């Protein structure tokens, strides 16, 4: 098909040209004398993205799932109890990973479309007077349902209960796109991957650990080898790795971090919020609703949009791809067929989002869902226009507007 694929899944995301160019380099010796010039700067600047001064960042070859495994196996032992809520495919998979590593997971099942039940967590922690719970798992942004949870509130609940458990955050579809503050929120393990907010190909699991998490490493008995923090730390301190690192991706990561810091993290977050809000205005204009049940849970990186009764969201995504070369996210697991998703994270702007909204609108009409052509697009256009940043331009041009 001529023209470009419009990529609006919540990862992999669109890759900026500068990132792609940065990776167009020869392969290199990862033991070269000057290799640390690249890697030490990455470790330093990733801390800015995670907003940690005291934590330590790790880069493993892998994906977000590997990051989960690294976080768990380096800091816990089989039989350890962890508290987690399950409200979407990703929070479900993290629980599953913990169970397969022999952890005892106290699962709080929550309706899909809601987020972390902070009050229930608070009660469970208060009831755990013997401090059996070693870790609390929070999926900050549940990508399957488009739900963002309040990590700071979980930290307050932990402190309120005076509970010493560690706080683990899945930030795969949130870190580098929406607000995340490792030190301020007292996060002990933060997990991310390269192909979402970092706008890179899949291939890096990026994990940050607090000093408390690193102290837990010594007594943690989960089997680990590839993801061992200790092996990493022994070599990372000099800018090297215990095995062959993903050198090409690291050049891309350099460019990606430069773009993020140049735009400014707060501006990146504000951009994601605006783009998401435009999508939400469109959904409203279509007369449809989000899977996320309440505004406090609306995600600024992905919207899961409920299709009306009698229609299949996966058919929308399928036809959008076949007919318009538009990639939308499918509904996963429990919400398969009930929703389709628009990913709005990474290297995106207003007009790109209008493409996704227009394509979704056309496809829904094709399928027989009664939405007015142009309705969602117009709602988003109006919102983007009204909230567009002011631009300096020559007076003569401005006067003629």
Ligand X SMILES: *Cc1c(COP(=O)(O)O)cnc(C)c1O
The binding site for ligand X (CB under 6 A) comprises: 11, 63-65, 90, 139, 141, 143, 170, 172-173, 193, 202
3-state DSSP of the chain:
CCCCCEEECCCCCCCCHHHHHHCCCCCCCCCCCCHHHHHHHHHHHHHHHHCCCCCEEEEEEECHHHHHHHHHHCCCCCCCEEEEEECCHHHHHHHHHHHHCCCEEEEEECCECECCCHHHHHHHHHHCCCCCEEEEEEECEECCCCEECCHHHHHHHHHHCCCCCEEEEECCCCCCCCCCCCCCCCCCEEEEECCCCCCCCCEEEEEEECHHHHHHHCCCCCCCCCCCHHHHHHHHCCCCCCCCCCHHHHHHHHHHHHHHHHHCHHHHHHHHHHHHHHHHHHHHHHCCCECCCCHHHECCCEEEEECCCCCCHHHHHHHHHHHHCEEEECCCHHHCCCEEEEECCCCCCHHHHHHHHHHHHHHHHHHCCCCCCCHHHHHHHHHHHHHCCCCCCCHHHHHCC
In the complex with ligand X, which residue's Cβ is closer, 203 or 376?
Answer: 203
Q: Which is nearer to ligand X, 70 or 288 (CB)?
A: 70
**Minimum CB–partner distance for residue 224 and ligand X (Å):** 17
Smaller CB separation from ligand X, 90 or 383: 90
Phi and psi based region of residue 325 (left: phi greater than 0; alpha: psi -120 to 50; beta: remaining): left
Q: How far is the CB of 144 from ligand X (least distance, A)?
A: 8
Closest distance to ligand X from the beta carbon of 37 (Å): 28
| Residue number with CB closer to ligand X (70 or 282) | 70
Comparison of 90 and 298: residue with beta carbon closer to ligand X: 90
Distance of closest approach, residue 204 Cβ to ligand X, in angstroms: 9
| 44 φ/ψ angles, rounded to the nearest 5 degrees | -65, -45
Toward ligand X, which CB reaches closer, 56 or 140?
Answer: 140
Minimum CB distance to ligand X smaller for 109 or for 238: 109
Q: How far is the CB of 309 from ligand X (least distance, A)?
A: 27
Shortest gap between Cβ of 143 and ligand X (angstroms)? 3
Shortest distance, position 160 Cβ to ligand X, whole Å: 26
Residue at token pair 């993205």:
49
Instruction: CB nearer to ligand X: give 139 or 353.
Output: 139
Please state the closest distance from residue 193 (CB atom) to ligand X, in A.
Answer: 4
Closest to ligand X by CB, 11 vs 186, is 11
Which residue minimizes CB distance to ligand X?
64
Closest contact distance (angstroms) between CB of 29 and ligand X is 28
């Amino acid at each position: 098909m001529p023209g470009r694929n419009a990529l609006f899944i919540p990862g992999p995301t669109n890759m900026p040209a500068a990132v792609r160019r940065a990776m167009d380099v020869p392969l290199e010796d990862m033991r070269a004398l000057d290799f640390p010039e690249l890697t030490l700067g990455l470790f330093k600047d990733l801390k800015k993205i995670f907003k940690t001064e005291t934590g330590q960042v790790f880069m493993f070859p892998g994906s977000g799932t590997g990051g989960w495994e690294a976080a768990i196996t380096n800091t816990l032992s089989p039989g350890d109890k962890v508290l987690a809520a399950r409200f979407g495919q990703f929070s479900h998979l993290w629980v599953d990973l913990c169970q397969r590593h022999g952890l005892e997971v106290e699962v709080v099942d929550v309706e899909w479309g809601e987020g972390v039940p902070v009050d229930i967590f608070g009660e469970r922690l208060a009831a755990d007077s013997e401090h059996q719970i070693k870790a609390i798992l929070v999926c900050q942004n549940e990508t399957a349902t488009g739900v963002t949870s309040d990590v700071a509130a979980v930290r307050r609940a932990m402190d309120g209960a005076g509970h010493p458990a560690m706080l683990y955050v899945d930030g795969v579809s949130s870190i580098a796109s929406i607000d995340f503050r490792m030190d301020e929120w007292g996060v002990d393990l933060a997990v991310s991957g390269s192909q979402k907010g970092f706008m890179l190909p899949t291939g890096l699991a990026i994990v940050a650990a607090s000093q408390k998490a690193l102290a837990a490493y010594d007594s943690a008995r989960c089997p680990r080898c590839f993801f061992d923090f200790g092996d990493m730390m022994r070599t990372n301190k000099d800018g090297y790795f215990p095995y062959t690192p993903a050198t090409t991706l690291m050049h891309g990561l350099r460019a990606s971090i430069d773009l993020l810091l140049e735009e400014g993290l707060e501006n990146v977050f504000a951009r994601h919020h605006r783009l998401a809000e435009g999508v939400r205005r469109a959904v409203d204009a279509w007369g449809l609703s989000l899977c996320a049940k309440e505004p406090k849970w609306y995600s600024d990186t992905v919207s899961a949009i409920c299709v009306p009764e009698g229609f299949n969201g996966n058919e929308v995504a399928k036809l959008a791809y076949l007919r318009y070369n538009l990639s939308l996210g499918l509904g996963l697991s429990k919400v398969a067929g009930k929703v389709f998703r628009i990913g709005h994270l990474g290297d995106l702007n207003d007009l790109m989002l209008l493409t996704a909204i227009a394509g979704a609108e056309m496809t829904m009409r094709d399928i027989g869902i009664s939405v007015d052509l142009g309705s969602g697009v117009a709602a988003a256009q109006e919102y983007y226009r009204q909230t567009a940043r002011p631009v300096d331009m020559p007076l003569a041009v401005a006067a003629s507007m």
